[in-house]
Amino acid sequence: MFLQKLLNLKNPPSKLSFCTFAYLRRNNEELAAHVFDQNAKRLQRERAVSASDVKLYDYLKSEIGYRLSDRIFDIKRKFTLAADLGTSRGYVAKHVSPSSVEELILCDSNAQHLKDIEVQDGIKIRKQIINEERIEFEPDSLDLVISSLTLHWINDLPGAFKRILHGLKQDGVLIAAVFGGDTLYELRSSLQLAELERRGGISPHISPFTHVRDIGGLLNTAGFTMLTIDTDEIIISYPSMFELMWDLKGMGENNAAISRELHLSRDTQFAAAAIYQELYGKFDEQKGSYTIPATFQVINMLGWKPHPKQPKPKERGSGQISLKDLHRLDEIIKEAKKIGSDDERN
């Protein structure tokens, strides 16, 4: 029964349930639980960006950055001042069009990231070193904040949302993407089963991620309105678990949880690789070898800072159609059109 529960790990504990995010209060001050070792994450990112083969590991972040930048075009507005929070190697910034943004602030905690970022001609740029744990923007200064694959490493995510809202003008918008709770569930379950077999217990080797069901509540609590939240699922095939783990290190997306173990024994690694292939591997007849899938769940979010002229939901009870009649919606629309045409003739 216990093994069956471990096998059903596509929905592991989220970042929120992992650290509970039940805020402690001391003298009416909210204190967020600490899940991630920020110094370790800083070193991981610095190592990744300074590697001579860094471009080999850009494929996933480049794809997600491109998809996120495309969402800016969906908003029929030109933003005067925007900030790219956690710009990294410019995965979003290089796709931002001057027809959408006049001036872009490139923000990152690593100065090395900001050196050689390319943006399209016609966009003014500024560069700003920023601590993602203590985001500081001028109050009511920004029309748009974009962030790709940065916010899921922040300990105080509710506080980060509040500080972003504080920096936005009224009717300003946040567009962001983070890894979700189903990310790397295959790797997580394989490592846990291997450790259970070899050591008789399990420890976290994959950082906890926020579930999509938590994001809406956090944005609402921070003060954002008119939320749009959806998910993408990107599945990438690798020859084995070892190539996947090597690429995660190259992306700077390896584990940074405070509770992580710093060493994973060789026998546990080989056992996990065998379990991964057995549970999830597929045989490629053309190549004559197995490949293993790795799932990356991406949560896309969009939220607006309140403005008096924004559309507001109708009052409760003002609806004219009951939800129980939704199955006959087509008939109701036809009846409404018929009544409207009869009124016009009369």
Q: How many structural domains are present in the chain?
A: 1
Tell me whether residue 314 is in a domain.
no
Percent of the chain with pLDDT over 90: 51
- Say what the pLDDT of residue 2 is: 39
- Say what the pLDDT of residue 45 is: 84
- Categorize the per-residue pLDDT at 339 as very low, low, confident or very high, splitting at 50, 70 and 90: low
What range does the domain containing 163 cover?
35-305
- Asked if the model's pLDDT at residue 326 lies above 90, the reply is no
Name the residue with higher pLDDT: 175 or 6. 175
Instruction: Give the residue from 336, 325, 313, 140 showing the smallest Cα distance to 225.
Output: 313
- In the block, tokens 């189903």 appear at 182
- Largest distance between two CA atoms of the chain: 84
Q: How far apart are CA 23 and CA 153, in angstroms?
A: 18
- Say what the pLDDT of residue 102 is: 96
Q: Summarize the confidence of residues 98-105 as an average pLDDT.
A: 95
Tell me whether residue 151 is in a domain.
yes
- Asked if the model's pLDDT at residue 80 lies above 60, the reply is yes
- Asked if the model's pLDDT at residue 323 lies above 80, the reply is no
- In the block, tokens 């059903």 appear at 8
Tell me whether residue 172 is in a domain.
yes
Mean per-residue pLDDT over the chain, rounded: 83
- Asked if the model's pLDDT at residue 234 lies above 90, the reply is yes
The sign one gets for the Cα dihedral 216, 220, 221, 222 is positive
Strands 79-85 and 24-26 come out as unpaired
Q: What is the pTM of this model?
A: 0.80
Specify which of 209-218, 222-231, 329-338 reaches the highest per-range mean pLDDT: 222-231
Tell me whether residue 230 is in a domain.
yes
Domain of residue 181, CATH code: 3.40.50.150
Instruction: Please name the residue ranges forming H helices in the chain.
Output: 2-7, 15-19, 38-50, 59-73, 157-167, 185-199, 212-222, 241-251, 266-280, 329-345
Tell me whether residue 251 is in a domain.
yes
Tell me whether residue 192 is in a domain.
yes
- Say what the pLDDT of residue 153 is: 87
At 118-173, the pLDDT tens digits run 899 999 999 999 888 889 999 999 999 999 999 988 888 999 999 999 999 999 99
- Asked if the model's pLDDT at residue 75 lies above 90, the reply is yes
329 to 30, 316, 341: CA distances (angstroms): 47, 20, 19
- Asked if the model's pLDDT at residue 329 lies above 60, the reply is yes
- Asked if the model's pLDDT at residue 200 lies above 80, the reply is no
Q: How far apart are CA 145 and CA 276, in angstroms?
A: 38
Strands 79-85 and 29-31 come out as unpaired
Q: Summarize the confidence of residues 323-327 as an average pLDDT.
A: 73
- Say what the pLDDT of residue 48 is: 86
Tell me whether residue 131 is in a domain.
yes
- Categorize the per-residue pLDDT at 4 as very low, low, confident or very high, splitting at 50, 70 and 90: very low
Percent of the chain with pLDDT over 70: 84
21 to 33, 174, 203, 307: CA distances (angstroms): 6, 22, 20, 29
- Categorize the per-residue pLDDT at 285 as very low, low, confident or very high, splitting at 50, 70 and 90: confident
Please provide the size of the chain in residues: 346
Residues ≥6 apart with Cβ < 8 Å to 167: 83, 135, 136, 137, 138, 139, 140, 141, 142, 145
- Say what the pLDDT of residue 314 is: 67
Which two tokens mark 9?
A: 């790990």
At 29-57, the pLDDT tens digits run 444 567 787 887 888 888 888 888 888 99
- Asked if the model's pLDDT at residue 341 lies above 70, the reply is no
Tell me whether residue 315 is in a domain.
no
- Say what the pLDDT of residue 27 is: 41
- In the block, tokens 């200064």 appear at 141
Least confident window among 26-40, 85-99, 143-157, 184-198: 26-40
